[in-house]
Structures are given as C-alpha cells and as structure tokens.
Homo-oligomer: A and B are copies of this chain.
C-alpha cells in the first residue's frame, strides 16, 4: 500500500517531519511518500494562503494517481483542496483537521483545539461544524506562533503546553487536538505532560487512510465526487484541464 502524504506548503523541513510522523503509525507493507507541491505558499496562515495552496495539492494528487498511490493525506489543518482531491483520486483522501477532530470523538465527549495564529480560529470552527463535530469541539485556542517558527522558536513547546493546559481547564474537555501539522512532533510529550490524549492530525489521518484502504473503501463516485468533466482550462492553469 502506498500512502501519499501531501504537505500543502513548500517548506521541505516541515515535509520531512510530517513524513516521519506518518511513517511511525503505518503497518508493514505500507509505504509513505511525503511531498510538498512545486508551487504555492511557504506556509499557510490565511484563507488566501489556503486557497493558493490548492493547485499544488491537486497537482500532487494527479501525480499520485499516475504513481499508484492508494490514498492521500492532506497535511495542513485547513484541509485545503480536500473535496476537489476526492474527485480526482481513486482512493480515499483524508485531511488532518478532519481526521484529528473526528478521531477525538472516539476518546471523550469534548476536545479542545490548540492552533498557531488567532486569525485561523474562525476557519477551524467552520471545519468543525462542516465535519459534524461542532458540539464536541469545546474551544479553539491560538498560541500565536507563526507556522514556520514552530521548528525554530525554542519557546514553542512550552507555549503550546501552556495553551493546552489553559484550554483543558477553561473547556472542561477530555482531549486536545493539535491544530497544525507543524506540531506533530510535540504530540507524545504533550500527552505525557497533560495526562490526556493529544492528537496529531498527521498520524490520525495516515492511520485513517490505511484503515479505509484496508477496508476496501474509497470515495463514492456516484454523484458529487465523480471525476470532473473534461473541459478547457485557460492561461497559466491550462495544464490542469481534466482529460477526456
């Protein structure tokens, strides 16, 4: 089984770390390929960044289809391009916000999300409602660390830990979901310190894709997620035109 894990931003050091998180949870015989797109933003911290990461994500899915990928993880907590990717992929496609938050619902009544920047809080709530976990999501908190500083800021770990502690107290929640792929490598330590399950969406999504492929389940092509109809695409994006 080949699972392609797409980091929607172009920062390769993050892609490497994401790949390691994914590889740590797959079974024997499962290959994880972690990639960044050839185009788009270095980090995703706004709706604008999110929207412009999508062409790169879709390009990687199209390449994955040629390369025999059995399923895909979209490894950014905004789940950019998720529904479009489901139309062009044969196998399952899972986002890390989706898998992180849905997995939390198996472990307690409510969870809190701890994310990077305050400006993404609204988007996280929107995803929570879209995924049916709006009632289970007790709160979304930002530690105000930009995505790319997660790797370099020596205080990142302790600030995230503090934000998690505050969230658990304020929300009376059972579980923490980490709101950025760049936090994946903090997950085990945080859980040990906090004494509650802490979910890294990258690992959760990878395990979910593996489970779905094992179950023989893939996106329904009956209606909304059928392959896009062939048509002309213009200008810089003409290469994206769906084939006949």
Contacts and interface: CB of A to CB of B under 8 A. Distances in A.
B197 A217 contact: yes
A54 to B, nearest CB: 5
Given A134-B132, A175-B220, A232 B42 contact: yes
A87 B47 contact: yes
A195 B39 CA distance: 36
Contact of A217 (B48, B54, B58, B199): B199
B235 A86 contact: no
A49 B50 CA distance: 16
A186 B37 CA distance: 41
A27 B25 contact: no
Interface in A185-221: 188, 191, 195-197, 199, 203-204, 207-208, 210-212, 214-220
Interface residues of A, number: 99
A222 B229 CA distance: 38
Contacts of A167: none
Interface in A26-71: 27-28, 37-43, 45-52, 54-56, 58
22 contacts: A37-B234, A38-B235, A38-B236, A39-B234, A40-B234, A41-B237, A46-B87, A46-B226, A49-B231, A52-B233, A56-B235, A56-B237, A102-B105, A103-B217, A106-B212, A108-B224, A109-B122, A122-B223, A130-B130, A172-B223, A174-B225, A197-B219
Interface of A: 10, 25, 27-28, 37-43, 45-52, 54-56, 58, 81, 83-84, 86-88, 92, 94, 98, 102-103, 105-110, 118-123, 125-126, 129-136, 146, 168, 172, 174-175, 188, 191, 195-197, 199, 203-204, 207-208, 210-212, 214-220, 222-226, 228-229, 231-238, 240-242
Please name the 4 residue pairs, one residue from A and one from B, whose CB atoms are nearest each other, closest first: A39-B235, A132-B132, A174-B220, A207-B211
